[in-house]
Structure 1
Amino acid sequence: MNSGDVSALDKLSVSTLNIWNKAGPWAERLPLIRKQLQELSPDVLGLQEVLRFIPDEQNPPAPAPDNCQAVEIAEGLGYNVAYGVAADYSGGLKFGNALLTRYKILDSRTFRLPGADSGETRSLLYTVLETPWGRLPVFVTHLNWKLHHGIVRVKQAVYIAERILVLSPVESDFLPPILMGDLNAAPSADEIRFLRGEHVLDNRSVYFADAWEYAQPASPGYTYARSNEYALKNGEPNRRIDYIFVRGPDKQMRGEPSNVRLAFTEAVPGSTGTVWASDHFGVACDLSMAPK
């Protein structure tokens, strides 16, 4: 379904995927990601663990699009790309979040998340998109990954909620903001329950609709799944840790999730075994945009 078809239906198609940087057989994973992206054809796609090479005087640029994984993935598919750095490695190499969208990007900013003293640096990518229904704020993030870093993720979730409120106030003319990414926490974790309005943190409460819980409550929706051979090697249990949230639906029912499903789940034979798009599965859904 292309952007024009979605517009006619008054629905926005959204997806998120942690692309696992360049781990594993990237040369074989890249075409598989691109194939499934073409089939899914979302209007908005959030990506995490995206490597980008930003040249400087000591590090000359690489040929485009090789200097950014998001650009490699999007090449020739009609997407605009925004990128936000989370970690700065040596030699001009960056690690962060990205957004691919069929719409014009009106604004793009990156905010550092709390928790750098934990040994991980994380960020929040903020964009505003010009859509047929109005200005749409979209946030892409990736929280600390270690299982015992719940206290860090709690602080990050509170910061993100505050930042969203500042950048897209509830009583503004923005469409309901979207938050998506790899939150590295199961639905029962305090940080997720806080975002879903089920838990108070630091005397604060918010509400974002968890698209999966809103439209697929009977299915576990594991995105880090032992059925994926890349994830299985880490020896972790099945978990749903990748999310699409929307603040709403609002009073006009804009932002109501539907057609929620796992994405980027296809596996194909490769040169050294089965190839998956990533060690994560993605999430995809439609969001209503027209007022009811």
Structure 2
Amino acid sequence: MLKILTVNLNYVQDGYGPWPERCARLRALLQAQRPAIIALQAVHVDDTRNQLRELAGDLDYHHQLFLAADTTRPQYGSAILSEIPLNAPWSFALPRDDDDEDQSPRRAIGASFTWQGEVWRLTNAHCSWVPAQNRQQVAALARALEDFSGPQCLVGDFNAPSTAPGIAHLTARGWVDAHACVGQGTGATFPADAPQNRIDYLFVHGCDRARLLATRTFPEQGAALSDHKAAMLIIAQPRETIETFR
């Protein structure tokens, strides 16, 4: 089975506890669940604080990718941790209107990886919370990912409910919302202490739906990891079945 987890770290903000405490909780989750790939948003990396290094620690995530959202703020961006080698890393600047309420620069990052003989592409996105800009960014993402012929996984903080136009745009183009397909309950991820909205997603494309085994959110109880819950997808190997998983 392949486990892919996504979580917004909320940088080193203390609203849900000091980062060292949140980091310890997230490391405990990684040790318990053993996702092969982790997509992170709102990551702080500089000479004084490297959330990526602190989180990976002595765990087996030897393949790491970090990209700042913008050169004017080089310490802030998105990242991928992986037990599986990452190949052909790439990035894509998400569009932004100069007069928009949300002026945060945003980039999607991604890489290819080989698992069970299949070449996959993983994309990690962190989209705007402003509805019009969100719709524009998700549409641009969909166009940018059209040229890949193999199976893909698109994950991250989309800052939009499942009823948003951008989410509908993706599903109309063949992207499968994994939680809508195999998840239990609402799958709400935000805010973490009293989740009401599902804004963190795990989409797949070019993969048989029968291979989607389950989605889960964390923590299931106890102190939060961030202002978002983590979301995880479990995918079967090409020859596995749901009966094997059970």
User: TM-score of the superposition, structure 1-length normalised?
Assistant: 0.74
Aligned to 2:204: 246
Matches within 5 A, 1:161-172: 161-166=142-147, 168-169=148-149
Q: Which range moves more in the overlay, 29-38 or 259-268?
A: 259-268
Amino acid at match of 1:165: E
Q: Residue 40 of structure 1 aligns to which amino acid in structure 2?
A: Q
Is 2:236 the counterpart of 1:288? Answer: yes
Candidates 69, 72, 76, aligned match of 2:58: 76
RMSD of aligned alpha carbons: 2.0
1:131 to 112, 115, 120: 115
> What is the distance in 2 between the residues matched to 1:74 and 1:255?
32
Which residue pairs with 1:57 in the alignment? none
> Which aligned segments of 4 or more residues in structure 1 are displaced greater than 6 angstroms?
none
Partner in structure 2 of residue 41 of structure 1 = 34
Partner of 2:226: 278
**1:3-22, Cα deviation, whole Å (9 max, x unpaired):** xxxxxxxx211111011110
Q: Which has the larger radius of gyration?
A: 1
Number of the residue aligned with 2:185: 219
| Identity rate, percent | 25
Equivalent residue pairs, number: 233
Change (3 A) 1:97 1:116: farther
Write out per-residue CA displacement over residues 174-204 of structure 1, whole angstroms, 9 at most, x where no aligned residue: 3x1100000000000000111111xxxxxxx
1:135: how far off? 1.7
- Equivalent in 136, 150, 165 of residue 155 of structure 1: 136
Q: Which runs of 5+ in 2 are unaligned?
A: 241-246
Alignment of 1:73-152 (within 5 A): 73-79=55-61, 80-89=63-72, 93-115=74-96, 117=98, 118=100, 119-145=103-129, 149-152=130-133
Please tell me the residue identity of whatever aligns with 1:144: S
Superposition TM-score, scaled by structure 2 size: 0.87
Q: Give 5+ residue unaligned stretches, structure 1.
A: 1-10, 54-61, 198-205, 269-275
CA deviation after TM superposition for structure 1 residue 120, in Å:
1.6
